[in-house]
Amino acid sequence: MTDKDRPRFVQLLRLLGEQYRETLSDIRQEVLFDGLADLSLAEVERAVRAHIRTSRFFPQVVELRELVTGNVKDQALVAFERIREEVRRVGYYGTPTRLSDGDRAMAEKVWGGWQRLCETLPAPGSDKYAFEQKRFIEAYDTHARLEPQDTPPQITRGDASRLLGDLGARGALRSVK
């Protein structure tokens, strides 16, 4: 979001305030804006509306962010699936060109390299596959907690639909001086 989005953002906060009977100080509004500033206004608006439909309490920044980006385990599951698809696409001798730097680094960290990953990743549905998936998710979660990123990876609607099923899912904010 940018400063031009502040008036609409304040409207969203007023909507939340009314729904949850909360009073929002200027400082609280600024904290919420800063915590969500890297998201688009459309993403924040969808998150606010989804939160109103699904929660009984006023949202924390992290709750609204997770409605946009997914939680760390969701992100890890999506990353695992992207890695698996790339293994299937390029195989042992290929170069994984469709992976983000972060996904590729996690695959190398967990399995020790692309060729090793290709050698050890079992077919979906097997007990060993579930074990490897769980091992990757735990490593991803640990990495995310120890080395938080400035911008978390985004889970696209296509990723979520394909991997997790269809989830279906007025004033101006005064500037701090």
Domain finish residue from 69, 97, 121: 69
- Number of domains forming the structure of the chain: 2
Q: Are residues 9 and 33 in the same domain?
A: yes
pLDDT single digits (tens) 37-65: 999 999 999 999 999 999 999 999 999 99
Domain span at residue 100?
72-154
* Predicted local confidence at residue 149, as pLDDT: 55
Query: Chain-centre distance of CA 139, in angstroms?
Result: 16
Residue 125 counted as domain residue: yes
Residue 22 pLDDT greater than 60, yes or no = yes
Would 57 be classed as within a structural domain? yes
pTM of the model: 0.59
164 domain-assigned: no
| Rounded Cα distance, 5 and 96, in Å | 38
Distance CA 173, CA 11 (A): 9
Cα dihedral 57, 60, 63, 65, rounded to 10, equals: 140
Distances (CA, A) of 113 to 91, 126, 176: 13, 22, 48
Read off the pLDDT of residues 63-108 as tens digits, 9 standing for 90 and up: 999 999 888 888 899 999 999 999 999 998 888 899 988 888 888 8
- Residue 119 in any domain: the answer is yes
Nearest to 41, CA basis, from 20, 22, 13, 17: 13
Instruction: Clarify whether residues 116 and 101 are in a common domain.
Output: yes
